[in-house]
């Protein structure tokens, strides 16, 4: 264990009396509404969201990156940091790796290393939005959608390598996000770029084993600022339907225009059986990559309202993957990721306690206010005691961030991991 179990135990013990009081009060409140708190604790215990390997390093903007203390030196340190997050929250059982950032020579050994921390692997992310030192051709003008067939072929090869890595790690999916697009009107044919992308993706798709999915991630803009090839869920769905049933559409919450109704996009993708899953984060303007639930917790709740509704009615093909995708520029990434994991679980449990029968009846009767109040009641319920109970029953911390601070983990790793000096730009 990376954090002393005695420490976690004694902190939990100190919080016990107040927690039991609050848990009991919430249980009685929910009972009056006909909701069994025990069932919600079980749901919270079964919940898990994947941590992005790149999220445990300090992020930055295109202007600057200000490294923190004890920055992970590579995938081995990143796994340890993810292990801390899982140990204290017990709701982040998988890691989503990014290739080539997390490349190693022995993936079986990496799988075992992760398992020692109680971690498995989620979707493998390919990267053709940067050039690597040892790379033959540049992605400056795009990758899978590039006008040049030799560059497209190089990007296809990289994605097929990611599939192989995914097989070795036991990952359920390959996530493909490309930065391809244009910065000038007329730079490329918008139609031809999409066609190039589709034919390159056909080759990647053909390399998928039957038990591996392909997640297509759309993003409105950045790094291309005039047009982006897979800019929205429409392009993503067209691509998925073109490729075949293993291709699905991944929704990164920050990849839409401000004020877009993301929960409705979720409902549409559920309807068509193509919802791959999520990259959770929060935003005010664009791909801000702020911590989930830190700016618009109600929007997060509304997304989960769609998910829980789909789950409970047994929507066909509904099995989304849940991942975090954030950039922690001014906080300790471990604290941010633990906080986000808790906020995401909170939205899930709040959505789970909505009285679906009453909501359906109000909707049937066109009773607008009753429907809204029924939905909002879920959001207005403080489910913190349920989340804390679920964590503690599994050996996690009553307050993960407080336990992490008390453990001195960051000081400890800062002694082993060399200081990163100066500030450079870039996303990670
Ligand atoms: C992108 C996108 C991808 C992530 C990269 C690092 O904006 O969200 O999911 O792989 O950032
Ligand atoms: Mn993303
Ligand atoms: Mn993003």
The stretch 74-94 carries a mean pLDDT of 98
Q: Are 91 and 386 in contact (CB under 8 A)?
A: no
Query: What stretch of H or E contains 94?
Result: strand 94-96
Q: Which residues contact 396 (CB under 8 A, 6 or more apart)?
A: 8, 87, 88, 89, 90, 91
Q: Which residues pair with 277 in a beta bridge?
A: 250, 321
8 CA from centroid of ligand 2 (Å): 32
98 CA from centroid of ligand 1 (Å): 10
Q: What is the best residue among 97, 177, 218 to mutate for testing ligand 1's pocket, by most ligand atoms within 8 Å of CB? A: 177
Q: How many helices (H) and strands (E) does the chain have?
A: 15, 11
Residue 125 CA: nearest ligand 1 atom is 10
Q: Give yes or no for residue 220 CB within 6 A of ligand 1.
A: no
Residue 422, class by beta-carbon neighbours within 10 Å (0-12 exposed, 13-18 middle, 19+ buried)? Answer: exposed
Pairing of β 181-182 and β 227-228 = antiparallel
Dist. CA 87–CA 377, nearest whole Å: 31
Strand ranges, E, within 157-297:
173-176, 181-182, 213-217, 227-228, 247-252, 275-280
Confidence of residue 426 (pLDDT cuts 50, 70, 90): confident
Q: What is the best residue among 127, 229, 325, 327 to mutate for testing ligand 1's pocket, by most ligand atoms within 8 Å of CB? A: 325
Confidence of residue 424 (pLDDT cuts 50, 70, 90): confident
384 CA from centroid of ligand 1 (Å): 30
Dist. CA 427–CA 141, nearest whole Å: 19
272 CA from centroid of ligand 3 (Å): 24
The stretch 314-327 carries a mean pLDDT of 97
pLDDT value, residue 421: 84
The stretch 3-26 carries a mean pLDDT of 98
Q: Give yes or no for residue 288 CB within 6 A of ligand 1.
A: no
Rounded to the nearest integer, the mean pLDDT of the chain is 97
pLDDT tens sequence across 38-52: 999 999 999 999 999
The stretch 195-221 carries a mean pLDDT of 99
pLDDT value, residue 69: 96
pLDDT value, residue 425: 76
Question: Which whole-number Å values give the CA distances from 71 to 74, 113, 417, 422, in the listed order?
Answer: 9, 19, 7, 13
Q: Give yes or no for residue 252 CB within 6 A of ligand 1.
A: yes
The 10 Å CB-count burial string (b at 16+, else e) for 163-189 is bebbebbbbbbbbbbbbbbbeeeebbe
The yes-or-no verdict on residue 422 having pLDDT over 90 is: no
Q: Are 137 and 150 in contact (CB under 8 A)?
A: yes
Pairing of β 213-217 and β 247-252 = parallel
390 CA from centroid of ligand 2 (Å): 28
Residue 137, class by beta-carbon neighbours within 10 Å (0-12 exposed, 13-18 middle, 19+ buried)? Answer: middle
pLDDT tens sequence across 173-193: 999 999 999 999 999 999 999
Q: What is the best residue among 217, 256, 322, 324 to mutate for testing ligand 1's pocket, by most ligand atoms within 8 Å of CB? A: 217
The yes-or-no verdict on residue 405 having pLDDT over 70 is: yes
Q: Are 425 and 65 in contact (CB under 8 A)?
A: yes
pLDDT value, residue 124: 98
181 CA from centroid of ligand 1 (Å): 15
The yes-or-no verdict on residue 288 having pLDDT over 80 is: yes
Dist. CA 65–CA 153, nearest whole Å: 33
Q: What sign does the CA torsion over 160, 162, 168, 173 have? A: negative
18 CA from centroid of ligand 3 (Å): 39
Q: Whose CA is nearest to atom 1 of ligand 1?
A: 177
The yes-or-no verdict on residue 239 having pLDDT over 90 is: yes
Q: Are 142 and 181 in contact (CB under 8 A)?
A: yes
Q: Give yes or no for residue 279 CB within 6 A of ligand 1.
A: yes
Q: Are 139 and 128 in contact (CB under 8 A)?
A: yes
The yes-or-no verdict on residue 363 having pLDDT over 80 is: yes
Q: Is 188 left (phi over 0), alpha (psi -120 to 50) or beta?
A: beta
The yes-or-no verdict on residue 1 having pLDDT over 90 is: no
Question: Which whole-number Å values give the CA distances from 30 to 120, 274, 385, in the listed order?
Answer: 34, 34, 12
The yes-or-no verdict on residue 63 having pLDDT over 70 is: yes
In the chain, what percentage of residues exceed pLDDT 90?
Answer: 97
pLDDT value, residue 428: 64
What is the per-residue DSSP string for 265-285?
HHHHHHHTT-EEEEEE-B-SS
**φ and ψ at residue 347, rounded to 5 degrees:** -60, -40
Question: Which whole-number Å values give the CA distances from 28 to 125, 242, 347, 387, 390, in the listed order?
Answer: 44, 51, 21, 16, 18
């Amino acid at each position: 264990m990376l954090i002393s179990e005695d420490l976690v135990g004694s902190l939990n013990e100190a919080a016990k009396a107040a927690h039991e009081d609050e848990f009991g009060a919430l249980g009685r409140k929910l009972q009056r509404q006909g909701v069994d708190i025990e069932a919600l604790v079980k749901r919270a215990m079964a919940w898990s969201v994947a941590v992005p390997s790149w999220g445990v390093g300090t992020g930055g903007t295109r202007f600057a990156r200000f490294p923190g203390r004890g920055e992970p030196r590579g995938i081995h340190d990143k796994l340890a940091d993810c292990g801390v997050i899982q140990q204290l929250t017990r709701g982040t059982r998988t890691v989503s790796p990014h290739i080539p950032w997390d490349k190693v020579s022995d993936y079986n050994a990496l799988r075992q290393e992760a398992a020692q921390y109680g971690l498995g692997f989620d979707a493998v992310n390919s990267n053709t939005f940067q050039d690597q030192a040892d790379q033959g051709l540049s992605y400056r003008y795009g990758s899978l959608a590039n006008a040049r067939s030799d560059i497209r072929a190089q990007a296809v090869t990289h994605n097929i390598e990611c599939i192989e890595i995914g097989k070795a790690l036991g990952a359920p999916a390959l996530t493909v996000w490309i930065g391809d697009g244009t910065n000038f009107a007329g730079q490329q044919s918008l139609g031809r770029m999409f066609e190039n992308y589709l034919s390159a993706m056909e080759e990647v798709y053909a390399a998928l084993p039957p038990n591996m999915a392909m997640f297509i991630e759309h993003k409105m803009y950045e790094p291309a600022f005039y047009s982006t090839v897979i800019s929205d869920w429409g392009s993503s769905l067209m691509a998925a339907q073109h490729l075949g049933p293993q291709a699905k559409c991944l929704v990164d919450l920050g990849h839409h225009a401000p004020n877009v109704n993301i929960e409705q996009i979720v409902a549409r993708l559920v309807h068509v059986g193509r919802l791959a899953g999520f990259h959770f984060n929060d935003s005010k303007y664009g791909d801000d990559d702020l911590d989930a639930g830190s700016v618009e917790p109600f929007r997060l709740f509304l997304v989960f309202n769609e998910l829980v509704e789909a789950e409970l009615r047994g929507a066909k093909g509904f099995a989304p993957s849940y991942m975090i995708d954030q950039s922690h520029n001014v906080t300790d990434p471990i604290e941010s990721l633990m906080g986000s994991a808790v906020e995401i679980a909170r939205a899930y449990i709040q959505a789970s306690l909505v009285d679906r029968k009453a909501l359906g009846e109000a909707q049937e009767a066109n009773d607008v206010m009753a429907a809204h109040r029924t939905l909002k009641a879920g959001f207005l319920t403080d489910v913190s005691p349920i989340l804390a109970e679920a964590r503690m029953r599994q050996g996690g911390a009553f307050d993960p961030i407080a336990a992490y601070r008390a453990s001195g983990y960051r000081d400890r790793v800062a002694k082993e991991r060399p200081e990163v000096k100066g500030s450079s730009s870039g996303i990670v």
